[in-house]
Amino acid sequence: MTDLQARVKLLLPGLAISAVVAVAAMFLAEHYGAPVMLFALLLGMALNFLTQEEGGQATRSAAGIDFVARQVLRLGVALLGLRITADQVLALGWQPVAMVVLAVALTIGVGIVLARLMGFQMFFGLLTGGAVAICGASAALALSAAMPQHPRKGQATLFTVIGVSTLSTLAMVLYPMVTNALGMDAVAAGYFIGGTIHDVAQVVGAGYSLSHEAGDAATLVKLIRVAMLLPVIALAALLTRRQMLANGEAMSGPRPPLLPWFAVAFALLVVVNSTGWLPAALVGAGKSASQWCLIASMAAIGMKTHLKDILTVGWKPVALMVLETVFLAALFYGLLQTLA
């Protein structure tokens, strides 16, 4: 048996289990209307026994599940670049782009400051702030992949995914009513929804529930927020590298690159997709593959985590994410009023 065959045999059980859970999560999300990432996480956590036997011994599926949680996750993040083109950015004009850049930067900054005030590490503020400011669960997974290893990293990532998915669902219901109450026109309402709701699917749902014009505006603004994933991943990688260099032997593992390979691939795919060279069918397949990878990796991360770890987080992380969400909404509304 060759090394490749042995590797495939080792990973196949975990890969198959992660794929089955991803299919189940997508089925449930389609039929019940809840975030697919949340279903993938909960189903994965229910199968936690697949990664560890009694006595701490790894199961046959553990290696494949770990591979999905790490490498397949990175592939899914890289393929997110196929969602964005330069034409989409240029079509909005400078004002919405400036609002998005400012809102993302300030929300992450506030998240880091609040996290430190609450006694958390800076990286937890960057993780939650980035998830709230950019694109919800996908951003949480991408940022987590670029951050240093830590005993509670998996717990922090899972909590962030649960929190941001829940808040995004609430925002999808509430924000259209807020825009109507504030008397926003269709475009302004679309900008607000696209600039504040966390997950892409919820932005689309909320935007088009108002009107086609609002839905188009919301989707475009949201894609600009997704594009901000690249510089924020680069920031996370830079901070990780600095911490590892500063701590020396305190941080295990090799030094990370200045920019993770999946961030480079993300940028390259944005550039290539902007040229129009890629067939529409290939772009569509890449988008679907990205979604599959992220859902499967979320399921795998859930399988590696114990429910009791999530239940011990306390009220402070909840308060942190709620404050970040409220800050983003208030800030974006203020920017809309200022730049209108």
Please report the DSSP string for 47-95 in residue order: TGGGS--TTS---TTHHHHHHIIIIIHHHHHHHGGGG--HHHHHHH-HH
pLDDT bin (cut points 50, 70, 90) of residue 257 is: low
| Percent of the chain residues topping a pLDDT of 90 | 30
Q: In the prediction, which pLDDT does 258 show?
A: 57
d(CA 253, CA 77): 22
Higher pLDDT: 294 or 58? It is 294
pLDDT bin (cut points 50, 70, 90) of residue 74 is: confident
Higher pLDDT: 117 or 201? It is 117
Q: In the prediction, which pLDDT does 251 show?
A: 45
Mean predicted lDDT score pLDDT of the chain: 84
- Between 173-187, 239-253, 262-276, the lowest mean confidence (pLDDT) is in 239-253
CB 32 within 8 A of CB 22: no
**pTM check: above 0.85:** no
Cα distance between the two ends of the chain: 66
CB 50 within 8 A of CB 199: no
* Cα→Cα distances 174→151, 181, 197, Å: 36, 11, 10
Q: Does residue 103 register a pLDDT over 90? A: yes
CB 194 within 8 A of CB 205: no
DSSP run (H or E) holding 91: helix 86-92
d(CA 151, CA 96): 39
> At 7, which amino acid appears?
R
Q: Does residue 249 register a pLDDT over 70? A: no
Residue range 38-65: mean pLDDT, rounded: 79
